[in-house]
Chains A and B, each alone.
Chain A
Amino acid sequence: MQWETVIGLEVHAQLATQSKIFSGASTAYGAEPNTQACNVDLGLPGVLPVLNKEAVRMAVKFGVAIGAEVASRSVFARKNYFYPDLPKGYQISQMELPIVGIGSLTIDLEAGESKVVGITRAHLEEDAGKSLHEDFHGMTGIDLNRAGTPLLEIVSEPDMRSAAEAVAYAKKIHALVRYIEICDGNMAEGSFRCDANVSVRPKGQEALGTRAELKNLNSFRFLEKAINLEVERQIDIIESGGRVVQETRLYDADRNETRSMRSKEEANDYRYFPDPDLLPVELDEVFINEIRATLPELPDEKRQRFESDYALSQQDAMVLTASRELADYYEAVVAAAKSDPKIAANWVSGELAAALNRDAIDITNSPVTAELLAGLLTRIADQTISGKIAKQVFEAMWQGEGDADAVIETKGLKQITDSGAIEKLVDDVVINNPKQAEQYRSGKDKLFGFFVGQVMKETKGKANPQQVNELLKKRLAQD
């Protein structure tokens, strides 16, 4: 039997507001437990929520970015359940009338293909606190710093057909929320979290299979692994004659397994009803259009512009527009360097990306700034140094040894372009290696590289490679 996987994702993006969604407490991450929980966050008797307008603006920004309908009237509702890190005994969320309605997102798949994924809705809600189970000797500690942090829950249609598609979608949402600056996207700190609804069905069948909701997927890699595990698990169950039950499953990254958290029967009846403490959110066209006007260039638009403005391949453009910071860096390099944008692209997505990755540094903190890299590329373009030497210069710049010119100067890396001098070296190398010259001339073409290498060795790589090639060819053609 051939199986088809069906996946829908729920993304929780913490909105990058200064204060919480219903109180004035700070949302900064990492403070001492319970130091950023005010009376409202603690759910003290008598306190009331007041909506943070900035959270509304950010939600609307997301809505217009995905071309969704932004609701002229949305309503906060209470989702009632008991849990120690939920101080009021209910979460303020949106149920029947979310702030963002139907929209869509185009995801990029391998081999240049793309796919449109439907977005059902996005709604505002408050985050819960955290239960800390370690270090409390059989008790549980509660940290309410996170309680009340604004969340935008983005719900997709069950449009994805593989873990790879789910990851592509999650990455696209991730890039988008960072582009429009509504979420810092930090998955390790929980600013961006994914839940996946996964089911399988025989290929060709229209009705959806029973789904499991996977939670605790705090990296794209875990998302992919957990979905693949779950798909296998479900297929195994069905093929061995069993039935998949609707449940919530928790992914354990250490054991690389999912395990049941609660079944549908144990699920809460959340008793949603409109929160009488908050007025409906009413937005007019003027407000929505004002926010639309603040939208930056979005990833897809930017990619297309990169392809046409800089004559980049789709692949290169996609890599460089993966984040707004990377794209900005690239454009700064191109603007400052007297260099081919394609070469700049190779350097940014090659040498620079590798170094950032190696040292786990964010591009905004790169020791080689866009200006520094542009300086280096300019020196390649004007033939002061070769591309190969440039890698040495780059490494020195990475270590903080100054800009390209300074490094070239101190290390004496300036390219030798004096054809007289190169001619002399070529001459010496050919004379000192008569055996190889003989073999070359009798047809062993591969030995050409040997002579180039010898010249480069003599000049410590500084000779202009093109000139070396030309002069060597000429010299070896002689007797």
Chain B
Amino acid sequence: MHNKSMTELAAGLRVGDYSSVELTQYFLDRIQQLDSGLNSFVTVCANEALSAAQAADVQLQTGQAGLLTGIPIAHKDIFCTQGIRTTCGSKMLENFVSPYDATVVARLKAAGVVNLGKTNMDEFAMGSSNETSYYGPVCNPWDTETVPGGSSGGSAACVAARLAPAATGTDTGGSIRQPAALCGITGLKPTYGRVSRYGMIAFASSLDQAGPMTTSAADAAIMLQVMAGFDERDSTSAEQPVPDYSAGLEDDLTGLKIGLPKEYFGEGLDNAVAQSIDEAIAEYRKLGAEVVEISLPNTHLAVPTYYVVAPAECSSNLSRFDGVRYGHRCEDPTDLEDLYKRSRAEGFGDEVKRRILIGTYALSAGYYDAYYLKAQKIRHLISDDFTQAFKQVDVIMGPTTPDSGFRMGERADDPVSMYLSDIYTIAVNLAGLPGISIPAALANGKPAGLQIIGNYFAEAKLLNVAHRLQMATDYHQAAPANIEQ
């Protein structure tokens, strides 16, 4: 049952092969049996999930059900969930229970989706390995000695291990795509503004975007359908109409122009991963696509630019965690200064502190022009690279990550090498474009992700291109060996 797609599960619910309560219990059991070895969940909410499943069953029986009614999923612990604690992977929010639902959560809830629990993540979404979580690292189900990627590592691992049919994730510099690649699943980062950020705890507001993490592009389409759309609570959400993402999934790819940026295939790319990507590209040729080499000349500036912009925004976004109204407060503060200093020193982990410091520095009087303003200018150059490229091609493809992951602890003391794991994903966030990572052929037995980048609001095209590969190959059906009960 756990290898079924959401569409298949929905069909099963409809014909009464199982109820939503049974389905939900099935996944809750899997979580209980398998997650101790993965740590992909921070909070499992069995009671809430089962009562939501009961309600879904009533809807299913009375014919009021929508496509996703009764399907259990998991939410990254960055989304506020009313009545269920939201930790954002931090000690700071260890006891924080939100009085409201994030728009993404509310929309999925309204569609009848059952929430199994909250998935582990890098603290405040800052990390590429899930090692910065206060709730412990997440293991990659393909090899529990290696990292699942981050920051949506819990979501990626739980979907890869089939502990949930799907999960939500967020992506600021690759946090959906990179763990999706390393865990061998499908992860879509939509165009900036496509999905509401309301209720999603902000890391870097101009880059953050929520998206689905699933076992197939077809499932991602169904989930995005519910998640996407204008939200009057988020001024940066787009008023653009939401197309039917499932309608064109099987559209023919004959004549599709694929651009391969030469900068994504150069030094630093692991050979085995490169080979998997080449194989996938070859499949596309077979499907009638035309492949051309392109250039994104400012690619090398993406990581440094990101590490000015994102920390600058985070330094301000995380100021609200001050121990005054909610979240961690130090014991017996002597005065206000002490309250602030100790609450924040105790509540935040090292990586979060590192980024707050970098961001504070970058925005300081005398440094603002040299760092923040300069970074914003480079951001325009990076966007322009893509604008030029999309004059020639329909989609851009390349590896999602330079390699197929690393062992836990391997890069923990070397932030720069860690930051470079997002080298192919970051530019997409800086430009605000949509990107999807789907499994390519295994590279030396490990997952490798193919990244497909589209033009603004071209999610339907990305899903179509991704789905056609998944029709032609079984790359996405490869699952880790140790997930059978």
A residues with CB within 8 A of B? 39, 42-51, 78, 80, 82, 84, 87-90, 140, 142, 269, 271-273, 276-279
Q: Is B102 an interface residue (CB 8 A)?
A: yes
- Pick 23 A–B contacts, CB within 8 A, sort by A: A39-B100, A43-B320, A43-B325, A45-B80, A46-B80, A47-B198, A48-B236, A50-B233, A50-B234, A51-B235, A80-B315, A82-B319, A82-B322, A88-B320, A142-B324, A269-B364, A269-B365, A271-B360, A273-B316, A277-B202, A277-B205, A277-B235, A279-B236
Q: Is B199 an interface residue (CB 8 A)?
A: yes
Contacts A89-B319, A89-B320, A273-B372 given; indicate if A39 touches B99 (C-beta within 8 A).
yes
Contacts A271-B363, A273-B368, A276-B313 given; indicate if A48 touches B197 (C-beta within 8 A).
yes
* Chain A residues, Cβ within 8 Å of B320: 43, 45, 87-89
**A35–chain B nearest beta-carbon distance, Å:** 15
Docked complex Cα distance between A425 and B435 (Å): 106
The prevalent SS among residues of B at the interface is loop
Cross-interface CB contact of B316 among A42, A49, A80, cutoff 8 Å: A80
Contacts A43-B325, A89-B322 given; indicate if A78 touches B316 (C-beta within 8 A).
yes
B326 near A44: Cβ-Cβ < 8 Å: yes
Cross-interface CB contact of A50 among B93, B235, B322, cutoff 8 Å: B235
Docked complex Cα distance between A78 and B318 (Å): 13
**B420–chain A nearest beta-carbon distance, Å:** 25
Cross-interface CB contact of B232 among A46, A50, A272, cutoff 8 Å: A50
**A399–chain B nearest beta-carbon distance, Å:** 52
Docked complex Cα distance between A342 and B24 (Å): 85
* Chain B residues, Cβ within 8 Å of A50: 232-235
**B195–chain A nearest beta-carbon distance, Å:** 13
* Chain A residues, Cβ within 8 Å of B322: 82, 84, 89
Nearest A residue to B323, CB-CB: A84
Q: Is B86 an interface residue (CB 8 A)?
A: yes
B residues with CB within 8 A of A? 79-80, 86, 88, 93, 96, 98-100, 102, 197-202, 204-206, 232-236, 312-313, 315-316, 318-322, 324-326, 336, 340, 360, 363-365, 368, 372
The prevalent SS among residues of A at the interface is loop
Cross-interface CB contact of B235 among A49, A90, A142, cutoff 8 Å: A49
Nearest A residue to B376, CB-CB: A274
Contacts A271-B364, A276-B205, A276-B206 given; indicate if A46 touches B319 (C-beta within 8 A).
no
Cross-interface CB contact of A87 among B86, B198, B232, B325, cutoff 8 Å: B325
* Chain B residues, Cβ within 8 Å of A46: 79-80, 98, 102, 197-202
Cross-interface CB contact of B363 among A44, A51, A142, A273, cutoff 8 Å: A273
* Chain B residues, Cβ within 8 Å of A48: 197-198, 233-236
Give the most central of A46, A90, A140, A142: most B CB within 10 Å.
A46
Docked complex Cα distance between A89 and B201 (Å): 15
B100 near A44: Cβ-Cβ < 8 Å: yes
* Chain B residues, Cβ within 8 Å of A44: 80, 98-100, 326
* Chain A residues, Cβ within 8 Å of B372: 273
Docked complex Cα distance between A271 and B313 (Å): 11
* Chain A residues, Cβ within 8 Å of B200: 46
* Chain B residues, Cβ within 8 Å of A277: 202, 205, 235-236
B102 near A42: Cβ-Cβ < 8 Å: no
Cross-interface CB contact of A279 among B99, B235, B324, cutoff 8 Å: B235
* Chain B residues, Cβ within 8 Å of A273: 312, 316, 363, 368, 372
* Chain A residues, Cβ within 8 Å of B326: 44-45
B316 near A271: Cβ-Cβ < 8 Å: yes
Docked complex Cα distance between A51 and B234 (Å): 10
| Extra inter-chain contacts (7) besides given A43-B325, A273-B363, CB under 8 Å | A80-B319, A82-B322, A140-B336, A271-B365, A273-B372, A276-B236, A279-B236
Docked complex Cα distance between A23 and B360 (Å): 27
B235 near A278: Cβ-Cβ < 8 Å: yes
Docked complex Cα distance between A277 and B316 (Å): 12
A45 near B96: Cβ-Cβ < 8 Å: yes
* Chain B residues, Cβ within 8 Å of A84: 322, 324, 336
Docked complex Cα distance between A140 and B312 (Å): 31
Docked complex Cα distance between A230 and B313 (Å): 40
**B83–chain A nearest beta-carbon distance, Å:** 14
**A41–chain B nearest beta-carbon distance, Å:** 11
* Chain A residues, Cβ within 8 Å of B236: 48, 276-279
* Chain B residues, Cβ within 8 Å of A279: 235-236
* Chain B residues, Cβ within 8 Å of A271: 315-316, 360, 363-365, 368
Give the most central of B232, B316, B363, B368: most A CB within 10 Å.
B316
Contacts A44-B98, A273-B363 given; indicate if A90 touches B80 (C-beta within 8 A).
no
* Chain B residues, Cβ within 8 Å of A43: 320, 325
* Chain B residues, Cβ within 8 Å of A89: 316, 318-320, 322
Contacts A80-B316, A269-B365 given; indicate if A45 touches B235 (C-beta within 8 A).
no
**A99–chain B nearest beta-carbon distance, Å:** 16
Docked complex Cα distance between A279 and B193 (Å): 12
Give the most central of B98, B320, B340: most A CB within 10 Å.
B320
Give the most central of A78, A277, A279: most B CB within 10 Å.
A277
Nearest A residue to B88, CB-CB: A45
A42 near B80: Cβ-Cβ < 8 Å: no
* Chain A residues, Cβ within 8 Å of B197: 46, 48
B364 near A90: Cβ-Cβ < 8 Å: no
**A325–chain B nearest beta-carbon distance, Å:** 37
Contacts A142-B324, A273-B372 given; indicate if A90 touches B199 (C-beta within 8 A).
no
Nearest A residue to B373, CB-CB: A273
